[in-house]
Structure 1
């Protein structure tokens, strides 16, 4: 049986390296892709996996090179942000070539654009495309699905991220700068996705002990507003991020720190689902948000390559492509986090 080939775009970035290492640990074959040939060769040498690792140079504006990558690979994991810049060319190339696609975006406009522009093409070519399968966005989407499983008529879902010790890469810094400067925010309220200016507000979210209540930035511009309503019957979605994520000046001055220091994050993702007469909740708690995101994308990509992916093709939300709680339980067994669910009170 021929082994699948996994392409990683942005392979020599921090997330790309984590994805590559995890795929090699699962005995997979890799195609490292990016615009810097020297950096690709250096990473291949560092991984020291012989013929299991190939490299190919392709910039996001080289349509022919991207097409060659998508034809060669079975699955692409897109790790190079900001996705407002890199997202569309790679998603388009994957859809047109019928290459399965997973990305690490949190930007809601990019995620919506993939659904809007690639759906018909991906269905025709047989590609499964899952944008925003990472720490921000993807894990919140899965947790919302797990908390809400089997519940109809949900009035409100709150997804809250508490992060301490976050050290942004260059791509993450550029993404954060872009997102918080946006004036045309996507929100989901009264059963509809809306675009327009939203006044930022301070909020407090009651995380379960031992974390407790935390001051939050709201709304947090993440992709759950696009993905969660595709598989959860909800009228309103609120997204929040703890102010502690950006309190330390080192958060924005950490492009060149080592991998061990960057891994020193603590996180909790909590979801509350509320409906008339009842509520449910859940949380993911762990360390190293970068590894958690990499594990999520690799788990999805491997399942798709092995024929354990969704029954339908096209662009799908994470929780639409895979059953939410079993997917999270598999990540929990791999040490990504601890999952706690509390369903159906009231």
Structure 2
């Protein structure tokens, strides 16, 4: 049981990608957990070496039983406004490291505020938002600004050719009624209305209208990088898809069960008259979370985390080494080290 990994929400859309990637990379002895016994049982033919354990966030005893002896708990069950706190409390009781995929800002802020000291004292690593939203931009920004002691501005541009949201994404949207925050003048502020603008994501996304839409990377980046302001922009077409109730869920199109949707995430950092850019391109924003999470698992188990406590991806690990470990079929990284602006 020394390196047992629990995936809570294993039967969810992204949870299944994570379980499959863990198996692909040679991890056995998984505990597949969640509230629905029937859905958990349906996974066993595909992952026969696993064990299933039913647990409910409203029943701390069931969580403790499911997580007993686990080295790492991966929480793939949103909305994280509901699931993060009870699962982290159980992780702290069981002495397990914790990873989640939160795109929501509020649970990431709550995790930092509520659990940092206890996790550090118990030598537990808690990594929220280790996903496409939150974690990927954070580790890209960390790598991009590694030689700068201070950065004036970090802008994150997220372009999707389309967004076919999962049921979990829609549920999170309905549940998340908190005001969105941006980071300006060295502090978090409520987002103010701003006009849209054009951004060229290059192929295959191309030029898109983008709008300001702060997600969890605002919190992850500003929590550990010395920066005056952080902004996140999302392509308007993908937001329109998300808001359209008739937009279908993602459908598998390849051997990895990825949908055909393409993404480009670009981070632009400014310091004085110097500009740096780094981008990540790939297929399926849900599927790409799996290699990010499993690489996080790899590094925790191999002792490559910088320290314990509540940490972001960029804060916990050597950013360049982490990015270099990712397969190009999952994420293609392109960097423009220096570009001078007027």
State if a TM-score over 0.5 links the two structures.
Answer: yes
Which whole-Å deviations, capped at 9, do the CAs of 1:76-120 have from their partners, x for residues lacking one?
Answer: 111111111222211222133321111111111110111111111
Aligned counterpart for 1:273 among listed residues 250, 269, 272: 269
* TM-score, normalisation: structure 2: 0.91
Q: Secondary structure at the match of 2:42?
A: helix
Partner of 1:38: 38
Aligned counterpart for 1:59 among listed residues 36, 44, 56: 56
Q: Secondary structure at the match of 1:44?
A: coil
- Looking at structure 2, the residues matched to 164 and 191 of structure 1 have their Cα atoms a distance apart, in angstroms, of 33
Partner of 2:156: 159
Greater fraction of residues in helix:
1
**Match status 1:72 vs 2:66:** no
CA contact under 8 A between 2:56 and 2:62: conserved in structure 1?
yes
CA contact under 8 A between 1:231 and 1:320: conserved in structure 2?
yes
- Looking at structure 2, the residues matched to 221 and 284 of structure 1 have their Cα atoms a distance apart, in angstroms, of 18
Q: Which moved more, 1:142-151 or 1:63-72?
A: 63-72
Q: Give the superposed CA RMSD.
A: 2.1
Which whole-Å deviations, capped at 9, do the CAs of 1:195-234 have from their partners, x for residues lacking one?
Answer: x35325423224346644321121x131112111233221
Q: How many residues align?
A: 336
1:1-346 to 2 correspondences below 5 Å: 4-28=3-27, 29-47=29-47, 49=48, 52-179=49-176, 181-182=177-178, 184-194=179-189, 196=190, 198-199=192-193, 201-208=195-202, 211-218=205-212, 220-248=213-241, 252-253=245-246, 258-260=251-253, 263-308=259-304, 310-333=305-328, 335-346=329-340
- Gaps spanning 5+ residues in structure 1: where? none
- Gaps spanning 5+ residues in structure 2: where? none
- Looking at structure 1, the residues matched to 258 and 23 of structure 2 have their Cα atoms a distance apart, in angstroms, of 21
C-alpha change, 1:252 and 1:98, in structure 2 (3 Å) is farther
Q: Compute the displacement of 1:255 (Å).
A: 6.6
Q: Compute the displacement of 1:142 (Å).
A: 1.0
- Looking at structure 1, the residues matched to 98 and 250 of structure 2 have their Cα atoms a distance apart, in angstroms, of 29
CA contact under 8 A between 1:95 and 1:118: conserved in structure 2?
no
